[in-house]
Structure formats: C-alpha cells, structure tokens
Amino acid sequence: MKDIENIRLDGTSVVILDQTLLPGETKFLTLASADELFDAIATLKVRGAPAIGIFAAFALYVLAVQIEAEDYISFCRKIMEYSAFLNSARPTAVNLHTQLKRMERLVESCKDADIPVILDAMRKEAQDIQQEDINMCKAISEHGLSLIRDRFVILTHCNAGPLATSRYGTGLGSILLGHERGIRLRAFCCETRPLMQGARLTAYELTRAGVDCTLICDNMASAVMKQGKIDAVFVGCDRVAKNGDTANKIGTSGLAVLAKHYGIPFYVFCPSSTIDPECETGADIEIELRSQEEITELYFQNPIAPPGINCYNPAFDVTDSSLITAIITENGVCKAPYGF
C-alpha cells in the first residue's frame, strides 16, 4: 500500500493530513502557532494515540524555535509552559504525555548547551520518536501475524491504522501486512459513533490497500458475531494499565463482552509507549468527555435530536483485562497476568 504521510516536519512547521476531512478530501495543514497545534489535537485533525505523541514532539520543537529567550532558564521555563499546554489538549492517550515528557527531559539534560544546539537535539529527538514508532508498529504487525490464518475475518473498531500511528498501524497492522503477503483476509469495521473513525478512516485505509472490508453500524456487531462471521477482534488502545486493563475508543469494551460471550478471541495491539507504568488499573485512567454536538449534529445534515437534549459523550471506555485474550506489543504476544 502507498504510505500516507500523516505527520511531517517542514522546516519550522508541522504538516499534517487533516483526518477530519477524510475520506472526501485529502488536505494537508501547515501548523506553527501554539493555538493551531493545540487545536489540531483537540479537534482530532491529528488523532490516534501514537500519532498524537509523535505530533506533540514535533509541535514542541516548532514552538521551541519561536522562543525568544535570553538564557537557558527562561528557554526551559517556556518549553515547560508549551508542553503543559499541548498536554492539556486531550487526557486519555498516554502517548501525548509520554512523548512530551521525553522532550522535556531532553531539554533538562542540555543545561550547558547553547540554544541552537538544544533545538537541533529536539528536532532529532522528535524524528527518533517517529522512527521508533514505525519500527514498533512493524514489529507489532509481525507478531500479530501469528494470530491470523488464511481466510480469517477480523472485526475492528475505531482506527488503529497508519493514520493513527506513523506507518503500518497497530490493530490494522497485521491485517495490512498479512494482505501484502498474500494471506486472504477480510475485515468488518464498526463505524464508531460519534466521530465515525471506523467508517471514515479504517474503511478508507483498508479499501485503499485492497483489503476486502465490510462496514457495519456499531449496534450490528453482536449480530455478525452470532452469525459466525467473525474469527477475531483486533483493536488498538490509548492507555494500558499495569494490570492489563486498556482504554480505547468508546464501544470497545462492549465488543470485548460480546466476543467473550460468543467465544471469539479479543486482541489489543499497542506499542509499549502506550503502557502507563503510573497507572495501576483502568480505574486510574481519565476518560475524555467531548461535546454533545458530536452526538446530535456533527455528521448529520440536520440535527437528529431535540434542541437542548442532555447528552453524555465519553470518547473512550476501559476494557477489563479479563476480557482480553492477549495484548500484542513490539515485544510479542503477552497474556495475563500482565504486571507491566
């Protein structure tokens, strides 16, 4: 499949593919101001846990270039302010926090260096983060192939493909790699209300790669499982607790319950950068709440609910580790007890 370059550094700006416009429009945005960079994460122009971590690292570099500081102390203070600002754009995916902290640590380790030297180091660190993600996704996809047989049918939710990472993807990586290697695979994608990442992005990535893919509404998953159409469920995730509980797009935990009921293996894919060593269980994971317009209006020609209706719009849910057959990272296929 031809790669989609979703995030790249262009001099002193970050260029991203605007994921909110897919699949209808392929538009690249050149971003440099703090507000633009924050907005890109908050409005999901760039999205997916590994992708927002990579983007944030580049964003911090781009903001660092603009700092007019007399000395290291004031440069460093401004870096910490920008980092905290970017980190506040979304709470659930740990990668955003992890990669910003990595950039902060780098700056802290450069106390005796001149600012141009620190900037060079920051650019290189952000590029390393992206390259490491490419390598991890490739390794995850290879490990995932051990779970697939010829003619497998895989159900997936949200988008855990190249758009959500750097290349290959996590949950979609093995499907794309298996397809490239001639394994006959089919996929069912849940549309993933309210923001439709399954319909807009996963269906786009899979059909673009030539994978046989069927789109279903989220409430059809039980029916296709019951009809025996699904061999396995593959999803990505946004944060993994030490006990193996995982946060992923809202609706994931329901699929895990269904999969258990129907005796279908349920696999979670992520780079180890998505494991949060500071999080004991899923109860410690902050779940992002988003605006009610996403439910009532965003993807509809006309509002679909009475004006002023109360809505509850959590963007993620936590799947209990007891429902997960295995978690696949770049280090292999891990089974409970996890103890990450």
Under the binding rule (CB under 6 A), the answer on residue 160 touching ligand MRU is: yes
Task: Scan residues 88-117 and list those touching ligand MRU (CB under 6 A).
Answer: 93
Q: Which residue has the tokens 């106390």?
A: 111
**H-type alpha helices, the chain:** 34-42, 49-65, 72-87, 94-108, 115-145, 173-180, 197, 203-209, 221-226, 252-262, 293-296
- Least distance (Å) from ligand MRU to the CB of residue 229? 22
Distance CA 143, CA 320 (A): 22
Task: Please tell me whether residue 315 binds ligand MRU under the rule CB under 6 A.
Answer: yes
| Shortest Å distance, C-beta 70 to ligand MRU | 38
Q: Please give the residue whose beta carbon sits closest to ligand MRU in the complex.
A: 236
Nearer to ligand MRU, 141 or 248 (CB): 248
- Catalytic residue check, 238: yes
Query: CA 16 to CA 194: how far, in whole Å?
Result: 23
Q: Is 248 near ligand MRU (CB under 6 A)?
A: yes
Our finding on whether 319 is near ligand MRU (CB under 6 A) is no
Do the bridges between strand 266-269 and strand 232-235 make them parallel or antiparallel, or are there none, so unpaired?
parallel
Choice among 238, 245, 276, 317 that is catalytic:
238
**Interface with ligand MRU: number of residues (CB under 6 A):** 18
Of 106 and 256, which has the nearer Cβ to ligand MRU?
256
Encoded one letter per residue, x for contact with ligand MRU by CB under 6 A and - for no contact, window 30-59 reads --------------x--xxxx---------
Q: Rounded CA gap, 252 and 315, in Å?
A: 11
The string over 174-205, giving b where at least 16 C-beta atoms fall within 10 Å of a residue's C-beta and e elsewhere, is bbbbbbeeebebbbbbbbbbbbbbbbbbbbbb
List of residues contacting ligand MRU (CB under 6 A): 44, 47-50, 93, 158, 160, 164-165, 170, 197, 236-238, 248-249, 315
Catalytic residues: 238
